[in-house]
C-alpha cells in the first residue's frame, strides 16, 4: 500500500510540474503577442483587423 501511495504522489507531482510548465509557456506566448501588439502602430493594427474582418466575411 505504501508503494502505491508513493507512486500516486509521484504521478501527482509530475502532473503539477507539467501543468506549471505549460502555464509558463502560455504566459510567455501571451507576453510575446502583447509586445507585438504594443509595438505596432494604430494604422498597422487597423489594417490587420480589416484584413481579418474581410476574411471572416467571406465565410458567410
Residue 36: what pLDDT? 87
The span from the CA of 31 to the CA of 26, in Å, is: 9
Inter-residue long-range contacts of 7-12, CB under 8 Å, 24+ positions, other chains counted:
none
Position 10 scores a pLDDT of 94
Number of domains in the chain: 1
Quick: pLDDT tens for 16-47: 999 999 999 999 999 999 998 888 888 998 99
pLDDT score at 57: 75
The pTM for the full model equals 0.53
**CA dist., res. 5 & res. 11, Å (int):** 10
- The whole-number pLDDT of residue 30 equals 94
pLDDT at 59 over 70: no
Amino acid at each position: 500500500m505504501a508503494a502505491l501511495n508513493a507512486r500516486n504522489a509521484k504521478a501527482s507531482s509530475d502532473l503539477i510540474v507539467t501543468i506549471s510548465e505549460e502555464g509558463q509557456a502560455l504566459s510567455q506566448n501571451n507576453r510575446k503577442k502583447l509586445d507585438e501588439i504594443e509595438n505596432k502602430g494604430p494604422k498597422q493594427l487597423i489594417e490587420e483587423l480589416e484584413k481579418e474582418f474581410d476574411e471572416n466575411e467571406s465565410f458567410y
